Amino acid sequence: QEEIQEVKDEGNLEMLFNSLDKIVEEAKNQEEPAWRPRGIPEEDVRSAMVPYLLKHRSHLRKVLKEKEEENGKVAESVLAGRDRIAELQRLIQARKHAWQ
């Protein structure tokens, strides 16, 4: 008995057992089984990371699409500006010739 009590005191087992009891009580209310690793690190990480990466990829695709649309509008604006500049240059040349 004394040796058992010494081991309990040394390892602070009383607190650890109480903590374990608390975890077991909390788990009783859980409907889904707890996640357990399969023992293959690549698969364990994949199961946790794939949903996050898919969500992130979806977000990046959305941002890319928005940027491509924005770039398309800017490109149209630049082309319109170039056309306006060319038209103004023609008008300047025409007025220059008319003035001479």
Q: For residues 56 and 37, give the distance between their C-alpha atoms in angstroms, rounded to a whole number.
A: 24
Tokens of 3: 């040796």
Residue 15 banded pLDDT, cuts 50, 70, 90: confident
Q: For residues 48 and 93, give the distance between their C-alpha atoms in angstroms, rounded to a whole number.
A: 68
Mean pLDDT over residues 47-52, rounded? Answer: 87
Cβ atoms of 73 and 66 closer than 8 Å = no
58-83 residue pLDDT tens: 999 999 999 999 999 999 999 999 99
Q: In this predicted structure, what is the pLDDT of residue 58? A: 96
pTM for this prediction: 0.49
Q: Name the residue ranges covered by the structural domains of the chain.
A: 1-29+45-99
Q: In this predicted structure, what is the pLDDT of residue 30? A: 77
Residue 3 banded pLDDT, cuts 50, 70, 90: confident
Q: For residues 17 and 7, give the distance between their C-alpha atoms in angstroms, rounded to a whole number.
A: 13
SS3 42: helix
